[in-house]
Amino acid sequence: MSGVNELYPIFLKVHQLNVLIVGGGNVALEKLSFLLKSSPNAQVQLIAPIIKEEIRDLARKHTIELIEKTYDSDDIRGKDLVIATTDKEEVNLQVYQDCRVNNTLVNVADTPHYCDFYLGGIVTKGHVKIAISTNGKSPTTAKRLRQFFEEVIPDDINQLVENLNQYRKTIKGNFEKKVGQLNKLTETLIN
Ligand SMILES: C[C@@]1(CC(=O)O)c2cc3[nH]c(cc4nc(cc5[nH]c(cc(n2)[C@H]1CCC(=O)O)[C@@](C)(CC(=O)O)[C@@H]5CCC(=O)O)C(CC(=O)O)=C4CCC(=O)O)c(CCC(=O)O)c3CC(=O)O
Ligand SMILES: NC(=O)C1=CN([C@@H]2O[C@H](COP(=O)(O)OP(=O)(O)OC[C@H]3O[C@@H](n4cnc5c(N)ncnc54)[C@H](O)[C@@H]3O)[C@@H](O)[C@H]2O)C=CC1
């Protein structure tokens, strides 16, 4: 792997996608908690023969369907995004292969070579969201950077975004003129 991070970040509308989590233990709880922290209305189905109590608690508060059974290849049907977290390597590998065959994006938790995408550290301030990746090199650094930015980014950044959104709607003229006015108004932010 080269020295640059070539991952392309996108911001998914997981409230209108079907997410599947396979496994219901500690790792599933960790991934699910971060998913819901960022996207409380994510549509999630979770499949595992044994499901932790803390996951059941989350399921009661969010849109999560729990299915108590072992994984079957048919389970990925209709799913957009899959995260495998079981303690059985052969099951995680099966999930990965099923998803590849089906062109479904898959993440085998903590197993970079079986991931189409990585989960990142995420900072949210109202409408502003920042996703952080270290290219899989140091998740702990991603976590620390997340905590750092949560501290230093002012909470009123959202007010600025709201105000500019209002102003943006009032500007008349062509696209170039609009861009010019918005750039001028926000110049001081970077100086
Ligand atoms: C590649 C990636 C794939 C993926 O899982 O998506 C991956 C891989 C691995 N993680 C491991 C361990 C840990 N992961 C964390 C924490 C997080 N890990 C997350 C993402 C990612 N982890 C993806 C890369 C992200 C990037 O590009 O930077 C975060 C950001 C997001 C999330 O998980 O939701 C979340 C912080 C969220 C937050 O706090 O904001 C901690 C720290 C802690 O818990 O305090 C530890 C223990 C310390 C350590 O080991 O470093 C191991 C070794 C497992 C083993 O030992 O067996 C591997 C495997 C390997 O590195 O080979
Ligand atoms: N606990 C942790 O923080 C870490 C765990 N790991 C590794 O990650 C893996 C998972 O760890 P935990 O979540 O702690 O394990 P866990 O034992 O808490 O959970 C495993 C889950 O997988 C489910 N499962 C087993 N077979 C299944 C099948 N055929 N279909 C569907 N679900 C199935 C179980 O029912 C259970 O819900 C382990 O291999 C562990 O070594 C790696 C790094 C850290």
pLDDT at 90 over 80: yes
Among the residue ranges 35-39, 130-134, 161-165, 187-191, the one predicted with the least confidence is 187-191
Report which ligand 2 atom has the smallest distance to the Cα of 50. Answer: 35
Q: What residue owns the CA closest to ligand 2's atom 42?
A: 110
Total-model pTM: 0.93
Using most ligand atoms within 8 A of CB, pick from 22, 32, 96, 118 the residue to mutate for ligand 1.
118
Same domain, 124 and 143: yes
| C-alpha span between 12 and 16 (Å, rounded) | 9
Residue 1 pLDDT class (50, 70, 90 cuts): low
pLDDT digits (tens, 9 = 90+) for 139-157: 999 999 999 999 999 888 8
pLDDT digits (tens, 9 = 90+) for 102-147: 999 999 999 999 999 999 999 999 999 999 999 999 999 999 999 9
Q: Which ligand does the CA of 111 lie closest to?
A: 1
Structural domain harbouring 136: 120-153
CA distances from 94 to 8, 13, 106, 184 (A): 26, 26, 11, 54
Report which ligand 2 atom has the smallest distance to the Cα of 28. Answer: 13
Same domain, 108 and 39: yes
CA distances from 36 to 14, 60, 99 (A): 10, 12, 23
Task: End-to-end CA distance of the chain: give it in Å, rounded.
Answer: 36
Q: What is the pLDDT of residue 109?
A: 97
Average pLDDT of the chain to the nearest whole number = 95
Q: What is the pLDDT of residue 172?
A: 84
Q: What residue owns the CA closest to ligand 2's atom 25?
A: 86
DSSP H helices, 20-152, are 26-38, 53-61, 89-102, 139-152
Q: What residue owns the CA closest to ligand 1's atom 19?
A: 139
3-state SS class at 70: coil
Q: What is the pLDDT of residue 189?
A: 82
Q: What is the pLDDT of residue 117?
A: 98
pLDDT at 2 over 80: no
Looking at the structure of the chain, the number of domains it has is 3
| C-alpha span between 108 and 90 (Å, rounded) | 11
Residue 158 lies in a domain: no
| C-alpha span between 31 and 131 (Å, rounded) | 15
The fraction of the chain above a pLDDT of 90, given in percent, is 82
Q: What residue owns the CA closest to ligand 1's atom 1?
A: 136
Same domain, 104 and 41: yes
Same domain, 83 and 129: no
Q: What is the pLDDT of residue 43?
A: 98
3-state SS class at 58: helix
Average pLDDT, stretch 154-163? Answer: 88
| C-alpha span between 81 and 117 (Å, rounded) | 10
Q: What residue owns the CA closest to ligand 1's atom 14?
A: 139
Q: How many CB atoms lie within 10 A of CB 116?
A: 15
Same domain, 171 and 102: no
Average pLDDT, stretch 167-179? Answer: 89
Residue with tokens 């970079």: 112
Same domain, 66 and 106: yes
Same domain, 168 and 134: no
Question: Alpha-carbon dihedral of residues 26, 29, 30, 31, nearest 10 degrees?
Answer: 120
Cα-to-centroid distance, 139 and ligand 1 (Å): 4
